[in-house]
Structure 1
Amino acid sequence: MHFAGRMARRIAHSAACGMPRFLSSMVDRPVQKKTASEAALRLLESFADKTVTRRQVVDGNQLQKLSLTLGRRRLARDLDVSISAPPTGTPLPHGYHLVYFTPNGIEGELGADGTDKTFNAPAPFSRRMWAGGKMTWPAREQPIRVGDEVEERTRLLSATAKTSRRGEDMVLINPEATIAVPQPKALKDLVRGPSTCEDIAYEHDAPPLRRLSWSSVGLFRFSALTFNGHMIHYNQEWTRDVEGHPGAVVHGPLNLISMLDYWRDVHGKGQRPREIAYRALSPIYAGETYDIRTVGERGPGDDKGWDISVEKGGTICMKAQIPG
């Protein structure tokens, strides 16, 4: 299983003092600030020719908790996981690997915003958002299953200085992770009311749209499942006062899993996707209602595929392409 995701590490400046607003203290002498290009170069030098390798047994309990967090009592048509965890040998639905290989380390080793610092750019480019990526599943390889002992190998593909639409300097980081089992089986991934999920049918045989809303509790549960301490997903004070968001941010990986579930339910017909390329464009916040829909369907033939989007009030927040 291989995945590469892009994460933007960016810096926002305070209008009051011109210094990064997430610094916890000021110093008496002038601070020499790194440029985005310098920060990207330093990160590349730190991880040149390095691969981070971790091993883990795929746990059915973790899979059960994710399925219930997503509001899916049945992991498959004939597999109810509302009472007990799925048995050894149960295949992982595509995208569900994201709740495995969660960050290691004690709390004191996390960044100021609660994130894992493995691929963090140096200060002041330490704030981050999930920007997008790509996943591929080799067609002839078997799915990863509960009970498999799997290995994750992660390396840094690139770190690039960029400027955001708001004119902020940032570093775009592109790590690549490959998850495999000994056979091998592989996936390649090339970064307050209750939560709700309902399908809304169209006329004229058009694919239905899926309407979702995530509560703060649902976001907290997903953060816990992924061992993700990033405070923009659960700490209202940090999210509002430090990051400048109006509310808790829905996780990019959570929307990715929801898009794969939508494709599986609406278009999959029992098949597995072989690839998904995706890009996050705009944040979604706890309590907001948004839709997952099919915006394009191509084929049949070699060009067969689906364009899936996540939309909120006419704004495309995430988009993905899944080839047939």
Structure 2
Amino acid sequence: MFDWLQNFADWLIYSVFEISETTRLGTALNFFVYDTIKILILLFVIIFFMGIVNAYFPIERLKDYLHRKKLYGLEYFFASLFGAVTPFCSCSSVPLFIGFVQGGIPLGVTLAFLITSPLVNEVAVAMFLGLFGVKVTLVYAISGILLGTLSGWILSKFKLEPHLSDWTKEILAKKMEQVNYQIDKRSFLQRLPDITRSAWDIVKNVLLYIIIGIAIGAAMHGYVPENFFDQYLGGDEWWTVPLAVIFAVPMYANAVAIVPVIEVFVAKGVPLGTAIAFMMATVGLSIPEATLLKKVMTFKLIAIFFSVVTLAIIISGYLFNAIL
């Protein structure tokens, strides 16, 4: 989907600026250019699409339905399942998260998507199948979806809506004013300039956070050597799983990029459960993601979100080591 963008990043960094692709600087800059443009495109397109949905689809009815009906947790499962089939990393999932919040979807359901989307995708599943076989692949895919479902449900019990950022609350307040007091009978073409302007305003508001977050991720991607972790995670001591998660949080990569690294870890003696916990923390929890989320969440909400997901990943790591 974004092959053209990768080619552009390669051309810009390696040909125009003549920085070798074998250098850490070249790798970091290439990553920064590719991910910055990709996320900005995704953010604008998704917010624009959500603007169309909000203009024509009775999103308040859907929100009320999710609040009223006893779905027995299925709403969290469906959100996680949707996250599993969207091939996004943690930072790329943030635009969809903003769109869901803007659309009035319950926060716990939205967080279930945000957790699962970077953890599981069809390309990573295919790579797992080829590298580790059916059993490990099923454990990885099912656990990722259940992790998002259970974490979203747990987070919903904390009633975290008051801890959304003031900027997000303003968006929601404006949306409620439009629902309560305005019936827009304009045609799609008449609404299009307002929808486009609204999408662009949101992009401008989060631009700085996107650049800072991806810059941190690019530095980690380019300058942290892959073999740095082998010597610390290669045993079966109880502390290796939480240590793997702690090591992983500053990192930034999508599931597809990290799967080959996990293969190397396992080949060098790192227990498979510990390696999968490292992968889940790398793609599901990252400093760049926290930086992006700061625009839509308070520090307290980010801390609660990271704590619940971190605990769930650590527990999963122990379970993986026990059954794999």
TM bucket (normalised to shorter chain) is: under 0.3
What is the TM-score of this pair, normalised by structure 1? 0.24
